[in-house]
Amino acid sequence: MSAHTPTKMPANTSAMATPDAPARRFGAIGALSAGGVLLGLAVVLALISAWHITQGTSGIGFRDLFAALTGASDSPAEVGPSARDILIGSRLPRVGAGILVGVALGVAGALFQSLARNPLASPDTLAVTGGSYFAVTVVTAFGISIPMWASGGVAFVGGLLAAALVLGLAGGAASSTTRLVLAGTATALALQAGTSTLLILFQEETTSLYSWGSGTLNQLDGTAAIRSIPVIAVITAAAILLSRRLDLLSLGDDAASVLGVPIRSTRAIGILLAVILTATAVTLAGPIGFVGLCAPVIARLLTRLVPVLGKHAVMIPATALIGAIIVILADAVLRAIVGATEAITLPSGVTTTVLGAIVLVVLARSMRSSGPAQATSAARSRVFGIRRAVVIIATGVVVLIAVAVLALLTGERFYLLGDVALWLQDRAAPVISFALDSRAPRVAAALAAGAALGLSGTFVQASARNPLAEPGLLGITGGAGLGAVIVITLIPGATVVLISSAGVIGALVAFAIIYGLSWRGGMNTDRLVLIGIGMWFGFTALTTLFLVRANPWDTPTLFTWLSGSTYGRAWADVAPVALVLLAAIPLAFVWTRELDLLALDDDTPRLVGVPREPVRLGVLVTAAVLAAVSVSAVGVVGFIGLVAPHAARALVGSRHARVVPTAMLLGALGLVVADALGRTVIAPAQIPAGLIVALIGAPYFVYLLARSRA
């Protein structure tokens, strides 16, 4: 008894005192009424909106605008009409769209988080935003002409299907945080790849979607915003009517069911309302990221100061106002920093996505360990004999050679083996020599980068003990891509060596940040994955920022990096990844025993004398370098590092002495095939290999999630 009393009493006391402690500590703040809280937030929103309205390219300030509205201008013929036109035609529509989008996404995020009882559920992490954007892109690409109100319905269908897919893959709305975010992120990546492919294939039809694709508050007039007001108002009111059910649902499904809450219908209605709000926001301003994540989190943090926010009847309108504050403040700060003229070209969603990435990292750091992590499928795979592994690896080598030769032959024009033989003897016709001279380094780059990504993914999955982890989802390739893009943007005519070095430095810096933030008295692998995903979102937003600010002459090069393409590659681009790969392969075989032990649990390596954290750190650093040099060779390519190791374990078992060569072969094979398809399908135009890989890899990831759920 005495041993338990000191630990239980403080916990119970603090738990009981939680609602009242803030009120006593902060006095009037804690005692604020619901009306007072909402009024305070409304005042903050009004002040920020007033500041936002004064910003613009015309140089007309608040005094001129106020004079124009009140008719108090000394020179109405000059200042009055001009200022009034600017206010009504430009500034009010922009601030109005920002408020409406913030309200819609804030309420949608509150609904998702309350229904899932998961602080990381949001329109972005559930891929609702990506689904809505993809659906609108499909309609636009195929030239289907629909009115404004119908485009909202298209976005709703896309968002609803994406949310249903993510929740189904994750195992329901109440699934674990890591699983939910992984399912949503992978689905969002797949939808992003599909959207990018359509933008490439239908450039003329989708030109208007480029600037809209990252979220923008630019409005032609106030028509779209005015039309969305009734939808957002009605759905928000309906969400508030669900408040009592949501309060009871927070107690758990069993308790809520006993108290008379229809669980299934409540979740279905709530998800429908949230998707409608998200679709409306996407239709109005494009996919503005992470407002739906940040607004409810901020509201819950304020609950410690203002307990009345713990009730959904107050929290939902509060998150609506907080969401509007986030959007307007982010846009106003951006315009204040870079200037109103420059801000026109910058997507508003970039700022909110960076903010959301920070919130995601903070939430992941505060996450408590759920206990010892389970062994990955690497440790639970069937054990196969060495003979099977030898046969599969030998077959893989033969197939890879055959596919590489076939990739050399295919493209805008198909050549024969005899042409290759003449080319090797330097006796081919000039046209053939030119074609094969350009194709050979592309095939070599795809082969080397694919092998490097396969090996990097093997290292990451064993170290994180998560078969759904990969260098891209951990933010490593995002950091490498950002480093390369910064150099291309800031240094005209940057050399291959400089770009490759920047990619390596970016990956290592990203890894150092992610690993450092994940360490809290030890390494929690779930925390590592979530922080990596948060950093990936942040790096992606910053990369977009550099992209839109880049010199137009650099834009094709930047798109090459971001989409993952071998276009224009030379032998000098292949050398860095080949050298690093040759250095990493011996290390991989030296570490095979350690990788087997790391994939089991945290205790086994320590029991057999393996220094767990130093080995894990060395393995992850090597994975980061491999991912970095692959980015320097072919740009940002996802899913290879996920699919190759998992497929290798399915073929040869869990022993890393067999998984390592098999994963490298499969990674190389996958990227070479993707590159060949991208060069051939719509020749003479080309689809980046990274998009082909994502379109193929995403269904496999869906299969992995469904299988691991079973």
What digits encode the pLDDT tens for the residues 582-607?
999 999 998 888 887 877 776 676 77
Q: Single out the residue of 228, 214, 216 nearest to residue 331, CA to CA.
A: 216
**Which residues in 495-530 are b (16+ Cβ under 10 Å) and which e?**
ebeebbbbbbbbbbebbebbbebbeeeebbbbbbbb
Q: Are residues 281 and 429 in the same domain?
A: no
Q: Are residues 576 and 479 in the same domain?
A: yes
Q: Are residues 343 and 477 in the same domain?
A: no
Residue 368 lies in a domain: no
Q: State yes or no: pLDDT of 288 exceeds 50.
A: yes
Range in 317-331, 465-479, 555-569, 632-646 the model is least confident about = 555-569
Residue where one domain finishes, among candidates 331, 363, 395: 363
Residue 319 lies in a domain: yes
Q: List the CATH number of the domain containing 359.
A: 1.10.3470.10
Asked if residue 120 lies in contact with residue 180, where contact means CB atoms within 8 angstroms, the answer is yes
Concatenating the DSSP letter of every residue in 600-663 gives: T-SHHHHHTT--HHHHHHHHHHHHHHHHHHHHHHH----SHHHHHHHHHHHHH-S-HHHHHHHH
Burial (0-12, 13-18, 19+ Cβ within 10 Å), 46: exposed
Q: Half-sphere exposure of residue 437, counting CA atoms within 13 Å on the CB side? A: 10
Q: Single out the residue of 266, 340, 317 nearest to residue 107, CA to CA.
A: 317
Residue 502 lies in a domain: yes
pTM here is: 0.74
Q: Are residues 339 and 403 in the same domain?
A: no
Could you give the CA distance from residue 49 to residue 92 in angstroms, rounded to a whole number? 9
Q: Are residues 305 and 435 in the same domain?
A: no
Q: Are residues 196 and 286 in the same domain?
A: yes
Q: CA-based diameter of the chain, in Å?
A: 93
Residue where one domain finishes, among candidates 363, 378, 404: 363
Q: What is the CA radius of gyration of the chain?
A: 27
Q: Half-sphere exposure of residue 688, counting CA atoms within 13 Å on the CB side? A: 26
Q: State yes or no: pLDDT of 300 exceeds 50.
A: yes
Tokens of 182: 């992984």
Helix (H) or strand (E) holding 243: helix 243-249
Q: Are residues 472 and 339 in the same domain?
A: no
Q: State yes or no: pLDDT of 81 exceeds 60.
A: no
Q: State yes or no: pLDDT of 377 exceeds 90.
A: no
pLDDT attached to residue 57: 66
Q: State yes or no: pLDDT of 694 exceeds 50.
A: yes
Q: Which DSSP category does 262 fall into?
A: -
Q: Are residues 539 and 634 in the same domain?
A: yes
Residue 249 lies in a domain: yes
Could you give the CA distance from residue 63 to residue 73 in angstroms, rounded to a whole number? 9
Concatenating the DSSP letter of every residue in 513-581 gives: HHHHHHBSSSB-HHHHHHHHHHHHHHHHHHHHHHHHHS-GGGHHHHHHHHHT--TT--HHHHHHHHHHH
Residue 8 lies in a domain: no
Q: Are residues 335 and 270 in the same domain?
A: yes
Tokens of 199: 């933008």
Q: State yes or no: pLDDT of 621 exceeds 90.
A: no
CA 535 to chain CA centroid, Å, is 9
Q: For 470-488, what is the mean pLDDT?
A: 79
Could you give the CA distance from residue 362 to residue 356 in angstroms, rounded to a whole number? 10
Q: For 217-228, what is the mean pLDDT?
A: 79
Helix pair angle (656-680, 571-590), 10° resolution: 160
For the chain, the domain total comes to 2
**Which residues in 200-212 are b (16+ Cβ under 10 Å) and which e?**
bebeebbeebebb
Q: Are residues 277 and 402 in the same domain?
A: no
Residue 688 neighbours by CB under 8 Å, 6+ apart: 196, 200, 559, 560, 563, 564, 565, 567, 635, 678
Residue 260 lies in a domain: yes
pLDDT, tens only, 485-534 = 888 778 877 776 787 788 788 888 888 888 888 877 666 767 777 788 78
Could you give the CA distance from residue 352 to residue 259 in angstroms, rounded to a whole number? 39
Residue 98 lies in a domain: yes
Residues spanned by the domain of 633: 386-709
Could you give the CA distance from residue 121 to residue 163 in angstroms, rounded to a whole number? 11
Q: Are residues 346 and 390 in the same domain?
A: no
Q: State yes or no: pLDDT of 114 exceeds 60.
A: yes
Q: Single out the residue of 267, 283, 292 nearest to residue 153, CA to CA.
A: 283
Distances (CA, A) of 701 to 337, 338, 378, 696: 41, 40, 16, 9
pLDDT, tens only, 389-429 = 889 999 999 999 999 999 888 877 888 888 778 888 888 78
Q: Are residues 419 and 357 in the same domain?
A: no
3-state DSSP helix/strand/coil percent for the chain, to nearest 5?
A: 75, 0, 25
Residue 371 lies in a domain: no
Range in 247-256, 553-562, 700-709 the model is least confident about = 553-562
Q: Which DSSP category does 411 fall into?
A: S
